[in-house]
Structure 1
Amino acid sequence: MSIPVLRARWLTATFVNWSFRPESVQALLPDELVVDEYEGAAWVGFTPFVMADVRFPGLPAAVPGLPSFAETNLRTYVRRRDGRDGLWFLSIAVACPVMLAARAVGVPYSPGGLGVRADGDSVSYAGSRWTDRASYRLVVRPGDPIEPTERDVWLTSRWRAYTRRLGMIWATPVEHEPWPLADAAVDVLEQTLTGTAGLPAPLGEPVVHFSEGVRHVRIGPSTPCAAGPGPGSS
């Protein structure tokens, strides 16, 4: 990565991933991207977390970053036709209006009322987007730390995000330490995000992980991707 444009901490994260038929997800992607499959399925992740200490690089430690705020994304796992993998965000709700500036490079941020609360042995997330009233409520009980499987890593560790702007695909690189993952039991899961995005019912129950977070996030500049081979090219 070149010099990052932002640094942050991503804390109190829960990963809820459902499997779908690949064609159901492919229909929601731009032509330049294809579904990245795991064991023959496409996956869509619902990920609420807390953004903390968002700051420009080079600021002295004495200068505070933005106040902590909640963010929730609905994302899927994709590849460019040159094989480079990454995330495609179907939606992102955020409780900090400043972050809406990222719309300039196509990041689909929407303002909303969001909250994250720890209560005893459970963590509760709730939110509603102001633009279309899509909403969610999630209560999980984090369990013991796990040694991530290949699928766990595949679902949680991606190092670039793709967006579309001005008729082009843009890539934004991300670096951070590996997510420390734990099992998580779901007490409550209610959401309208997937239906609002145009997805059918998933193929089965979700795969759920909890993480206390990563504390050394570096987000690089977004750059346009060179045009690659079109659909159907080998």
Structure 2
Amino acid sequence: MHQDWHHLLFLHWEIPAAELQALVPPRLTVDTFEGKAYVGLVPFTLSGVRPVMTPPLPWISRFHEVNVRTYVHLDGRDPGVWFFSLDASSTIAVAAARAAYKLPYYDAQIELMTSGDALPVIDFRSHRTDPRGPAPAHCHARYQAVEGAASASAPGTLEHFLVERYILYAEDEQHRLHRARVHHQPYPVQRADVLALDETVVWAAGIRRNDSVRLRHYAREVNVKVYPLETV
């Protein structure tokens, strides 16, 4: 599956690893950096979503998303992402991702507006409408990149630990574990200014974060391939 991702905001909070471990499948272990575990909140826009070698369809290939995640590994290897929730503005995308990737996608009303060019201000607003998901679950984030060149994060840094993940894990209704590999060039990241933040999607996932965002990063665009799901 080919996808283009735009205007990504990565927000991270430190969470006790034991609290996150209780929320992921028992075969997975919460990954830590220098003994600390993190939960992430990532709003962004997707475009060009389509199977490889097929053209995009504008009315279904572009939509907005916000996901809540943590970072895991399997038996000390294969570091990846575990998603607690993914809210999306396309009912078709939600149904397809649930069927093909066993991910906890939920229908939501989402708007993303940008103003400016060189350092655009992004205003992202979402409201979960899906009765399958815990509620209330909304997210309003207003953000922009800090002036300066975007660059790939350096291996061995916390930034690299958080953003450079190339496996997603999922669990089906029978509690079988699956994974899919993801390929893209390293994120061109910059520090982000968060001008406003009002969200309950992290809380809806059962995670009690504090009010202080630990890390803020922005990536303007990345081209992505997501490979088919495989059973672990």
Which TM-score bucket, shorter chain as reference?
A: 0.7 to 0.9
Matching of residue 35 in structure 1 with residue 39 in structure 2: no
Q: How far does the alpha carbon of each residue in 1:4-52 deviate from its partner, in whole angstroms, 9 at most, with x for none?
A: xx11101111111111111111111111111100121111110011110
Matching of residue 164 in structure 1 with residue 158 in structure 2: no
Which of 195, 201, 209 pairs up with 2:217?
Answer: 209
Matching of residue 139 in structure 1 with residue 142 in structure 2: yes
Q: CA deviation at 1:193?
A: 1.2
Which of 115, 120, 127 pairs up with 1:119?
Answer: 115
Q: What secondary structure does 2:33 align onto?
A: coil
Q: CA deviation at 1:167?
A: 2.3
CA contact (8 A) 1:21 1:203 kept: no
Query: Which stretches in structure 1 are left out of the alignment for 5+ residues?
Result: 1-5, 226-234
Deviation above 4 Å: which 4+ runs of structure 1? none
Structural mapping, 1:23-102, within 5 Å:
23-59=18-54, 64=57, 66-99=60-93, 100-102=95-97
Q: CA deviation at 1:155?
A: 0.8
Q: How far does the alpha carbon of each residue in 1:188-210 deviate from its partner, in whole angstroms, 9 at most, with x for none?
A: 01111111111123384330011
Among all aligned residue pairs of Structure 1 and Structure 2, give the percentage whose two residues are the same amino acid. Answer: 26
* Aligned length, in residue pairs: 217
Q: How far does the alpha carbon of each residue in 1:139-167 deviate from its partner, in whole angstroms, 9 at most, with x for none?
A: 11211234434211111110010000122
Two-structure CA RMSD over aligned residues (Å):
1.7
Query: CA–CA distance in 1 between the matches of 2:213 and 2:88?
Result: 26
Structure 2 vs 1, CA of residues 203 and 80 (structure 1 numbering), >3 Å: closer, same or farther? farther
